[in-house]
Chains A and B, each alone.
Chain A
Amino acid sequence: MTDSLLLLPTEILIGILLALEVGDILACTSTCKHLHAIIVDSLQLQYEIELYASGMLDGARGPHTLPVQERLDRIERYTAAWEQLLWTDRISLPHLAGCISPAAVSGDVVVLPQLDGTAVSMHVQQISSALRAVDEYYVAQSTPTSSPFFGIQLDSAQDLLVVSNGCGAILYPSSCYVA
């Protein structure tokens, strides 16, 4: 005779479910009504499911620095903002006034070229995001170069900044040469 696991206290069942991957948690919702109700009513499990659905991971500071409800609300605000393309914030960067377009954006890093006479310098900045709880952080400014300037591309994941100068490209920041 096998006893039902559902006779266990709800907090234990939630502990078991929290040890599962999201796919398995969702499969468990289809097993019976009682387990379905436990999963729907558990804030922590809903957070796991929503986090997975949004394609995000808990931050490096770990999942326990904020209450679950607040984390769940943040995911909802994030999803809603993209679904409705809402402007959630406006940031002005006074020290970058006078930067010429085009800028390049990759991840939460933006590069803005600034023209001073014929010299161009690059400002690299991490942009704050209330939605993603990222603080603003000024990264670097390159030394001005006087090469012609046509456009830039940035891939922050590869540490790659490509600057077109009309006759080739300059790569920053690990090496600086004309391709």
Chain B
Amino acid sequence: MPTIVSVDDSTVPGEGSSRLLLLVSSDNKHIVVEEDIMSRSRFISKQVEGFEATSQRHAILLPFSSFVLNKVIEYCSHYRGYYLLEDDPDAAPPGRSPVREWDQEFLDVDRNMLLRIIKAAHYLEIKSLVGSCARAIADMIRGKTTEEMREILGVENDFTPEEEHSPSSKCTG
């Protein structure tokens, strides 16, 4: 259980703004963010439902750095109030459909950062961001040779020479 931190009603600004959430990153940075910005995250929404059920609000500890968390908050802030089809629980996976232009620019980061963002998005259950990251990673792999793919994927060739020369074992199974 995360430590209970007092984030009481005094942190709620007036004028109908949403409540505030306290997020704590793995590097122990405390980030305050409006609840409705983060409502795109299924994980956060479930936490908030928990708060309402127990009438007790506490900080939400997250297993990734503030650098990554801020990036995710930037994404959620950009799409605040927007309905994105991919976030629908029943939505089909995006497949080869193109990445939104804003997302493309937003995800113009190096491979390792992209990997951290997709992990964080998966943890936070933000389907639209997972989908955009997946397609951005696919764009890095597309059209590459097997050896280049290994480098991007970060894998070693563990096929024996015989396996490598027997297409039947490697194709569709």
Flag if A49 contacts B172 (CB, 8 Å): yes
In this complex, how many residues of chain B approach chain A with their Cβ under 8 Å: the count is 39
Q: How far is the CB of A42 from chain B (nearest CB, A)?
A: 10
Q: Cβ of A15: which chain B residues have Cβ within 8 Å of it?
A: 93-94, 130-131, 134
Judged by a CB distance under 8 angstroms, whether A130 is at the interface is no
Taken together as a complex, chains A and B put the C-alpha atoms of A46 and B159 apart, in Å, by 21
Closest B-chain residue to A15, C-beta based? B134
Q: How far is the CB of B89 from chain A (nearest CB, A)?
A: 14
Flag if B149 contacts A20 (CB, 8 Å): no
Judged by a CB distance under 8 angstroms, whether A86 is at the interface is no
Taken together as a complex, chains A and B put the C-alpha atoms of A75 and B95 apart, in Å, by 20
Judged by a CB distance under 8 angstroms, whether A179 is at the interface is no
Taken together as a complex, chains A and B put the C-alpha atoms of A54 and B157 apart, in Å, by 30
Flag if A29 contacts B154 (CB, 8 Å): no
- Contact of A20 with B155 at beta-carbon distance under 8 Å, contacts A3-B112, A5-B115, A30-B146 already known: no
Taken together as a complex, chains A and B put the C-alpha atoms of A32 and B149 apart, in Å, by 10
Please tell me which stretch of B19-27, B56-64, B77-85, B136-144 contacts chain A, meaning at least 4 of its Cβ atoms lie within 8 angstroms of it: B136-144
Interface size class of A (residues with CB under 8 A): 35 or more
- Contact of A34 with B155 at beta-carbon distance under 8 Å, contacts A9-B122, A28-B149, A40-B173 already known: yes
Q: How far is the CB of A155 from chain B (nearest CB, A)?
A: 31
Judged by a CB distance under 8 angstroms, whether B88 is at the interface is no
Closest A-chain residue to B159, C-beta based? A33
Judged by a CB distance under 8 angstroms, whether B150 is at the interface is yes
Closest B-chain residue to A1, C-beta based? B112
Judged by a CB distance under 8 angstroms, whether B158 is at the interface is yes
Judged by a CB distance under 8 angstroms, whether B164 is at the interface is yes
Cβ 8 A contact of B154, one of A3, A19, A21, A64: A3
Interface residue ranges, A against B (CB under 8 Å): 2-6, 8-9, 12, 15-21, 24, 26-36, 40, 44, 46, 49-50, 53, 63-64
Given contact pairs A2-B154, A32-B156, A35-B153, enumerate 10 new A-B contacts (beta carbons under 8 Å): A3-B115, A5-B152, A5-B154, A12-B118, A12-B130, A18-B95, A19-B96, A19-B134, A24-B138, A31-B149
Interface residue ranges, B against A (CB under 8 Å): 92-96, 111-112, 115, 118-119, 122, 130-131, 134-135, 137-139, 141-146, 149-150, 152-159, 164, 170-173
Give 24 pairs: A residue, B residue, CB < 8 Å, sorted on A.
A2-B111, A3-B115, A5-B137, A12-B118, A15-B130, A16-B138, A17-B138, A18-B93, A18-B134, A19-B94, A20-B96, A20-B141, A27-B144, A27-B149, A28-B141, A28-B149, A32-B155, A32-B156, A32-B159, A33-B159, A35-B155, A36-B170, A40-B173, A64-B92
